[in-house]
Amino acid sequence: MRYIEPHGHMVSRTTDDYQDMVTAGCAAVCEPAFWAGFDRSSADGFHDYFCQLTDYEPKRAAKFGLPHFSWLCINPKESEDVALATDVIGLIPKFLDRPNVLGIGEIGLNKNSRNEMKVLEMHVDLAARHDQLILVHTPHLEDKLKGTRLILDVLRSDKRIRPERCIIDHVEEHTIQLVLDAGFWAGMTLYPESKCSPARAVDMLDLYSHERIWMNSACDWGVSIPLAVPRTALEMKRRGWPADLVDKVIYRNPIQFLSQCPKFKLP
Amino acid sequence: MTRQQVLDQYFVDARHKLIDLAAFLDRVDRSEGEADFRIAAFRTALKHLAEKKPHRAKRVLLSFSDPTTKPLAKATVKGATGAWPGKN
């Protein structure tokens, strides 16, 4: 088995996780910027975080032979403070040329507030001006449907944005069709306590599409499983999926999307 | 997959989850306290399970969702509760 982990917060994980992922067939890991579990007090904290994502963490992954890529932004959970967000967004351009940076993400919404919307629009503008791929976080639980609709409105209203260069992550049964019908890529996040179980993810693949879709573990400092993608591949095999189709969903699909950034290359 | 294959692979697991739900509702009933919008939403969502129509998972998710379209004036918390309280 070979697979891509297109969304993992590896700064929160141990080296044991890197070993397990490589052993399971992981060929590359992509790490979007996210909330640290607490609010940073200044833009300086983000500067250091971006250095970690673009310098230190790739070296840590390389010790296990795993290519590491990253996405940069201020996470929606910290977007209520527009002044801070403006400062952080101002830092990002100087990091965009770093060799492992794939684009802007994970941007999006958390509680669907006006300030979060404003910061989302600033990120979208940044991505458009620098011709970057976009990775979007959709809100959790009861806020997901509304947030997904608002995010799609923001992306569709900016005519510079090409849907095929944006992935809307954390889709579930009530949002996947909205995303795919609008021409965007969809990400399914496999969580043990919320979002998708492996069985539900494979149901959605059966019901909706094998195209423009990927799966990720979004493993972080919370309850999450770094091997969620290969475990879901086992679920596909239990259902009799042909090996080539499993390979397409967990390996070739993410490569298809990520290769739109010329920096995404596998050894 | 055939019906037989689906049941062979998933029935015991689904049965386990169903009993967990039943025990959860018993636990809520045994506890003391105020009425809560979350358990009300939960009971509403349960009705979708008994419907003999496809897309039950989607309807359950929709029943917990905020159906409004206007952004909030301000985000005062970071977390989600799992059910829309009926107003923002």
Task: State both tokens at A205.
Answer: 């693949």
Q: Which residues of A touch B38 (CB under 8 A)?
A: none
How far is the C-alpha of A101 from the C-alpha of A51, rounded, in Å? 11
Domains of chain B, residue spans: 1-33, 34-69
Return the percentage of chain A with pLDDT > 70, whole number: 100
Distance from CA of A170 to the nearest CA of B (A): 13
Q: Are A151 and A109 in contact (CB under 8 A)?
A: yes
A120-177 pLDDT tens trace: 999 999 999 999 999 999 999 999 999 999 999 999 999 999 999 999 999 999 999 9
Probe site for chain A from B4, B16, B61, B88 (most A CB atoms < 10 A): B61
Q: Are A258 and A264 in contact (CB under 8 A)?
A: yes
CA-nearest of A2, A20, A29, A73 to A258 is: A29
- Helix, strand, or coil here: A5? strand
Q: Which helix (H) or strand (E) holds A185?
A: strand A185-189
Predicted TM-score (pTM) of this structure? 0.97
Position B55 scores a pLDDT of 97
Cβ neighbourhood burial of A125 (10 Å; 0-12, 13-18, 19+): middle
ipTM of the predicted structure? 0.96
- Helix, strand, or coil here: A198? helix
Q: Are A191 and A223 in contact (CB under 8 A)?
A: yes
| CATH 3.20.20.140 fits domain A3-258 | yes
Q: Which residues of A touch B68 (CB under 8 A)?
A: 146
Sequence-distant (6+) residues with CB within 8 A of A166 are A133, A134, A135, A136, A155, A184, A185
Task: State both tokens at A165.
Answer: 């260069």
DSSP string computed for B7-43: HHHHHHHHHHHHHHHHHHHHHHHHS-S---HHHHHHH
Beta-carbon contacts below 8 Å between A and B: 79
Examine the pLDDT at B88 and tell me if it is beyond 90: no
* Amino acid sitting at position A14: T
Strands A101-108 and A3-5: unpaired
Of A150, A174, A203, the CB nearest to B71: A150
How far is the C-alpha of A187 from the C-alpha of A169, rounded, in Å? 4
Helix ranges restricted to H, chain A: 15-24, 43-51, 57-62, 82-91, 114-129, 144-157, 176-181, 198-207, 228-238, 243-247, 253-258
- Identify the bridge partners of residue A68 per DSSP, sorted by sequence position: A29
At residue B73 the predicted structure's pLDDT band, cuts being 50, 70 and 90, is very high
DSSP string computed for A61-89: HHTTT--EEEEE---GGGTT-HHHHHHHH
Position A194 scores a pLDDT of 83
- DSSP summary character for residue A113: B
A170-225 pLDDT tens trace: 999 999 999 999 999 999 999 988 889 999 999 999 999 999 999 999 999 999 99
How far is the C-alpha of B14 from the C-alpha of A262, rounded, in Å? 45
Position A108 scores a pLDDT of 98
Domains of chain A, residue spans: 3-258
- Identify the bridge partners of residue A165 per DSSP, sorted by sequence position: none
Q: Are A174 and A144 in contact (CB under 8 A)?
A: yes
Q: What is the mean pLDDT of residues A41-54?
A: 98
Distance from CA of A194 to the nearest CA of B (A): 10
How far is the C-alpha of A216 from the C-alpha of A239, rounded, in Å? 20
Which residue is it, tokens 């932004």? A73
Backbone angles phi, psi at A81, to 5 degrees: -90, 95
Task: State both tokens at A232.
Answer: 């879901």
What are the angstrom distances between the C-alpha of A63 and each of A19, A58, A60, A130? 10, 9, 6, 31
At residue A15 the predicted structure's pLDDT band, cuts being 50, 70 and 90, is very high
Answer yes or no: do B71 and A77 touch at CB < 8 A: no
B81 part of contact set with chain A, CB < 8 Å: yes
Of A113, A174, A239, the CB nearest to B71: A113
Which residue is it, tokens 């969620």? A228
